[in-house]
Amino acid sequence: MNRLIYIAVALCSMMTLSCSKDDNLDEIIWIEDDMNAGLPQYSEWGYNTFGAYINAHVFTNNRKNDLWATNCSRVSSEGDILHFTLRNKDEYYYDETHPDDSFHSSDSLTFSIPYNHIYECSGLADLNGQIINLSSDKCRVTLKLEDGTNGKATTLDVSEGFLNIKRVQVLYLNGRLTETIMSGEFELKSTAIIDGKPRHFDITEGRFDIGIDAQKNIEILD
């Protein structure tokens, strides 16, 4: 009897979580990894989290479900190149004296990889299980850090590294495309020229679990 009660409670909890997630596809569910302090656990549920260590410093998205924190990723298609960006924050700076000078600022890591031109998030399905060599001439990795690259998007010279897209899930509800979940891991060793001097950028323990809302879809770049 106790076993049956436990199973019933577990099923109810799963249904509640599923309904809550479906109601707000941008929601962040941030659960810390016990083995890697400051990073979210690896997951494949569309929790809208990511994290990595950049030169041993934590790079992850805000845990709050506010307007900018939920906008932690961006996927865009430009010809035969797919850009996948992870952003740790999206803060809005308002200049009262010069409103036109107000701007958004975020630290970001962008993977640009060869891929077919796509128009909707279901087109990401062919990435399922792909391990991409980031040191390939066909790939580009761009890093932007307020404290590290002077707030400028900088192309990294990757000596070794990978982007492992472990799972891509295309979700439908009543026959209608609702979301694509992309989950995986990444690591790399690289250098970049900052202020005229070479600087090393080692990225370790990278993981992501991103839900791409079908209504927002893929950004198309000319």
Task: State the distance between the two ends of the chain, measured CA to CA, in whole angstroms.
Answer: 62
Identify whether 3 is part of a domain: no
Give the tens place of pLDDT for each residue, 3-27: 444 334 334 433 433 444 445 666 8
Give the mean model confidence (pLDDT) for residues 115-122. 93
60 in a domain, yes or no? yes
Q: Does some domain include residue 127?
A: yes
pLDDT given for residue 5 in this prediction: 41
Grouping H, G, I as helix, E, B as strand and the rest as coil, residue 94 is coil
**Residue whose pair of structure tokens reads 């796509």 in the numeric block:** 118
In a domain, 20, yes or no: no
pTM, entire model: 0.82
Residue pair 39/53 in contact (Cβ under 8 Å)? The answer is: yes
| 144 belongs to a structural domain | yes
Query: Could you give the number of structural domains in the chain?
Result: 1
pLDDT tens-digit series, residues 25-84: 668 899 999 999 999 999 999 999 999 999 999 999 866 655 445 568 899 999 999 999
Predicted confidence (pLDDT) per residue in 140-189, tens digit: 999 998 877 888 899 999 999 999 999 999 999 999 999 999 999 999 99
Give whole-number Cα distances, 175 to 39, 92, 121, 172, 178, in Å: 35, 37, 15, 6, 9
Domain that holds residue 120: 26-221
Query: What's the CA gap between 149 and 163, in Å, rounded?
Result: 22
| Average pLDDT estimate for 197-217 | 92
Element housing 201 (H / E): strand 197-213
Residue 143: predicted pLDDT: 96
Residue 185 within any structural domain of the chain? yes
Nearest to 70 by CA among 45, 53, 50, 52: 50
